Amino acid sequence: MEAFFKQFQKYAILRGIAYTLVGIFACVNPAFFFKAIIYFIAGYFILMGVINCLAAVRLQKETGSYGFSMATSLFFFLLAFVVLFFSKGILSIIPFFLGLLIVVNGASQLLQALNAKKGKGLWLLFSGVMIVAGLVLMFNPFKTLLVVCQVFGILLIFNGISELVNYFQLRKLYR
């Protein structure tokens, strides 16, 4: 179990910085943040489509058939199109999944706090706030996605600060 916590601690400072920076970006420019999410997802699917297409061409040169890679490639290209075409519908379900992500992260931090020998108080508070905020995002996504984005940004900043605090607490515990 201690090995797990050491591995988790190893990347805590990077997660903390990343969460804080993304949170600030989401708060400052929520409309662009949501568009960036859609384009990032579509870009990922296009990249996976290109990779599978290249694998299919390579397989065709070696064996004479494209195999399953060409079908997978077409599927990824179709997914990219669907993501871009139905982005408004996709954006409407993002608050639920962001809330779920925050709940899972808060629960993970809660488990760490309960297993820690020292410095539990602040850690328990941070994880509790994260769980409650994630549940609010999941089941009461407010009226507008921009507000949700800003709330998510604030939660990410809070989570980033929590990760940084956890990093230094864990560093003291496992020296």
Q: What is the pLDDT of residues 137-162, one digit of tens each?
A: 788 765 556 777 788 889 889 888 88
Banded model confidence at residue 74, pLDDT cuts 50, 70, 90:
very high
126 and 108 Cβ atoms separated by less than 8 Å: no
pTM here?
0.53
Residue 16 has pLDDT above 60, yes or no: yes
Q: Are 20 and 168 in contact (CB under 8 A)?
A: no
Task: Tell me: pLDDT of 10 over 70.
Answer: no
Q: At what angle do helices 87-115 and 145-173 cross, to 10 degrees?
A: 20
* C-alpha span between 56 and 155 (Å, rounded): 42
Token pair for 67: 């195999």
Q: What is the model's pLDDT at position 127?
A: 86
Q: 């993501």: which residue's tokens?
A: 83
CB 152 within 8 A of CB 137: yes
Q: So what's the pLDDT on residue 78?
A: 95
